[in-house]
């Protein structure tokens, strides 16, 4: 059997065709496909505005610059890819790492304790970890009660729903970010987006995406530079009003995104089928516990299981190696961000996060992607179950 990774893209002929058409067209970047893709993402998520960018990290960076100021305090999770909290640092703000709950998500009740004790906390950066949505009612309550900014990192959760509220709709948040990296629900190669319902944030993001440059006449600031002596606008004129970036996404990436978004619901349906089959396969297994039991609201970017290695003769690293020998890629989501060497140099690492610490010892992700075949999944189930069975300690 060929290598089974923990995640990968599903690209078909029509996706390739969509990209080829753009490659043959006049626009490779900033053409019509970008706006079409943004519109499709608004329609899918229900958010009013969308800005597509080069990747999810760029989306986080711009969102953080749009709403945070230097030294702002931000509650966030240690259980995410480093990009989530890095973006807080990019804005000169200060992450505060809050412990997670047993389902892998940031503990919003604990967040409330922090908010009660420190009125200067500006924001919560929450991740719907693995596709499992955060409690939207609680997010709404915290936002209204403590007047905080909320960013939803939806890199794992496109297509997830909580009480009818779709991920990235920003129903109870200021903005959401998405990633279209190949392992995510749909891909544009690299790619990302920010969604929001706030027009001012939207305009700010558009400017930051493209160097802080303004071209439209009604927003020009320097009339002297802009007009000639006959008061005609100089045809070449553009002006830079703030320090922005080149975080544009290309037209051919957006063409791929438009082709993929048509299949998104079927991709998510397949992910849910795979999750259910894993749950069924491990129901009576004494060593393997799913992170949470099958939940149709999750869009299952990841299928995470927990194993108490203390009770076994094998370590987690040994299991990873043995599975790799069978051509199966496991992955760990995530090493606690606050314990990363760089974060330790900033003084992080000794937070009281017992649930995250235990999670780190026990959890790992099994392969899960829409094009995964049933026999590949069976092979993964049998392999992991057999290895752990042999590792049972004799009492
Ligand atoms: C939760 C989370 N946020 C942000 C990102 C960053 O996205 P990208 O890889 O598109 O920059 C990732 C990527 O893995 C992620 O998992």
* Assigned token pair, 282: 């491990």
The residue out of 208, 229, 261 marking a domain boundary is: 261
Query: Which DSSP category does 189 fall into?
Result: S
User: How many domains would you assign to the chain?
Assistant: 2
CA dihedral 219, 223, 226, 230 (to 10 degrees): 130
| Cβ count near 243 (within 10 Å) | 9
pLDDT tier at 394 (50, 70, 90 boundaries)? low
**246 and 298, same structural domain?**
no
The answer as to whether 370 is a domain residue is yes
The answer as to whether 6 is a domain residue is no
Is there a contact between 104 and 364 (Cβ–Cβ < 8 Å)? no
The answer as to whether 127 is a domain residue is yes
Rounded to an integer, the average pLDDT of 313-336 is: 98
The answer as to whether 1 is a domain residue is no
Closest ligand 1 atom to Cα of 127: 1
pLDDT tens-digit map of 10-50: 999 999 999 999 999 999 999 999 999 999 999 999 999 99
β-partners of residue 192 are 53, 179
**272 and 159, same structural domain?**
no
Helix (H) or strand (E) run with residue 193 in it: strand 192-196
Contact partners, residue 330, CB within 8 Å, separation at least 6: 6, 319, 320, 323, 324, 364, 365, 366, 367
Rounded to an integer, the average pLDDT of 278-307 is: 96
The answer as to whether 2 is a domain residue is no
The residue out of 233, 261, 289 marking a domain boundary is: 261
Alpha helices per DSSP H over 262-391: 264-282, 316-325, 341-345, 354-362, 374-390
**281 and 235, same structural domain?**
no
* Predicted pLDDT at 392: 85
**279 and 256, same structural domain?**
no
**153 and 40, same structural domain?**
yes
Rounded to an integer, the average pLDDT of 376-383 is: 98
pLDDT tens-digit map of 128-154: 999 999 999 999 999 999 999 999 999
DSSP letter string, 311-344: GBSS-HHHHHHHHHHTTB--B-S---GGGSHHHH
The answer as to whether 3 is a domain residue is no
Domain that holds residue 317: 264-390
Cis preceding-peptide flag for 113 (omega within 30 of 0): no
**188 and 291, same structural domain?**
no
SS3 103: coil
- Please tell me the residue having the least CA distance from ligand 1 atom 10: 56
* Predicted pLDDT at 270: 98
Contact partners, residue 211, CB within 8 Å, separation at least 6: 240, 244, 245, 246
- Please tell me the residue having the least CA distance from ligand 1 atom 8: 56
Residue whose C-alpha is closest to residue 348's, from 116, 57, 82: 82
Q: How much is the mean pLDDT over the chain? A: 97
Residue whose C-alpha is closest to residue 368's, from 325, 304, 289, 288: 304
pLDDT tier at 395 (50, 70, 90 boundaries)? low
pLDDT above 70 as % of the chain: 99
pLDDT score of 122 more than 80: yes
146 CB-contact burial (10 Å; exposed 0-12 / middle 13-18 / buried 19+): middle
The answer as to whether 134 is a domain residue is yes
| Ligand 1 residue neighbourhood (C-beta within 6 Å) | 55-57, 80-81, 83-84, 127, 153, 155-156, 179, 181, 192
**323 and 212, same structural domain?**
no
The answer as to whether 30 is a domain residue is yes
Is there a contact between 175 and 63 (Cβ–Cβ < 8 Å)? yes
How far apart (Å, rounded) are the C-alpha atoms in residues 75 and 185?
A: 26
**CATH number for the domain harbouring residue 175:** 3.40.640.10
Helix (H) or strand (E) run with residue 392 in it: none
**374 and 226, same structural domain?**
no
CA of 279 to the centre of ligand 1 (A): 26
CA of 37 to the centre of ligand 1 (A): 19
**284 and 257, same structural domain?**
no
**275 and 144, same structural domain?**
no
**CATH number for the domain harbouring residue 383:** 3.90.1150.10
* Locus of tokens 């049933």: 374
* Predicted pLDDT at 283: 95
pLDDT tens-digit map of 275-287: 999 999 999 999 9
* Locus of tokens 């959401």: 176
**254 and 269, same structural domain?**
no
Pocket test of ligand 1: the residue of 83, 153, 188 to mutate, having most ligand atoms within 8 Å of its CB, is 83
**277 and 385, same structural domain?**
yes
The residue out of 216, 246, 261 marking a domain boundary is: 261
CA of 342 to the centre of ligand 1 (A): 18
Closest ligand 1 atom to Cα of 191: 10
CA of 312 to the centre of ligand 1 (A): 33
pLDDT tier at 1 (50, 70, 90 boundaries)? confident
* Assigned token pair, 125: 């950066």
SS3 per residue for 9-25? CCCCHHHHHHHHHHHCC
């Amino acid at each position: 059997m060929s290598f089974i990774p923990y995640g990968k893209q599903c690209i078909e002929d029509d996706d390739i065709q969509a990209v080829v058409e753009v490659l043959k067209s006049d626009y490779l970047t900033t053409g019509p496909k970008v706006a079409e893709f943004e519109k499709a993402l608004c329609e899918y998520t229900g958010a009013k505005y969308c800005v597509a960018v080069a990747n999810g990290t760029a989306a986080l960076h711009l969102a953080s610059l749009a709403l945070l100021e230097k030294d702002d305090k931000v509650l966030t999770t240690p259980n995410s890819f480093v990009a989530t909290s890095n973006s807080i640092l990019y804005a000169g703000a200060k992450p505060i790492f809050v412990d997670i709950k047993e389902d892998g998500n940031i503990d919003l009740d604990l967040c409330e304790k922090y908010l009660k004790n420190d009125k200067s906390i500006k924001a919560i950066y929450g991740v719907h970890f693995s596709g499992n949505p955060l409690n939207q009612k609680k997010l709404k309550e915290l936002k209204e009660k403590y007047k905080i900014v909320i960013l939803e990192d939806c890199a794992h959760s496109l297509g997830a729903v909580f009480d009818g509220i779709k991920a990235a709709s920003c129903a109870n948040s200021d903005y959401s970010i998405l990633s279209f990296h190949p392992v995510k629900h749909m891909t544009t190669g690299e790619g990302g987006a920010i969604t929001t319902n706030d027009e001012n944030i939207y305009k700010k993001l558009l400017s930051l995406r493209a160097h802080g440059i303004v071209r439209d006449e009604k927003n020009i600031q320097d009339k002297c530079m802009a007009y000639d002596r006959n008061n005609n606008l100089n045809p070449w004129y553009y002006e830079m009003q703030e320090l922005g970036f080149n975080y544009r996404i290309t037209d051919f990436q957006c063409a791929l995104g438009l082709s993929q978004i048509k299949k998104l619901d079927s991709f998510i349906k397949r992910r849910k089928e795979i999750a259910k089959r894993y749950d069924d396969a491990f129901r009576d297994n004494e060593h393997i516990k799913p992170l949470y039991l099958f939940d149709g609201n999750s869009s299952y970017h990841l299928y995470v299981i927990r194993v108490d290695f203390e009770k076994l003769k094998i370590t987690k690293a040994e299991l990873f190696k043995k599975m790799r020998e069978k051509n199966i890629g496991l992955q760990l989501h995530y090493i606690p961000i606050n314990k990363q060497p760089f974060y330790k140099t900033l003084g992080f690492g000794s937070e009281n996060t017992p649930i995250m610490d235990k999670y780190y010892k026990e959890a790992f992700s099994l392969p899960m992607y829409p094009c995964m075949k049933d026999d590949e999944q069976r092979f993964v189930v049998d392999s992991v179950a057999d290895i752990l069975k042999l590792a049972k300690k004799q009492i």
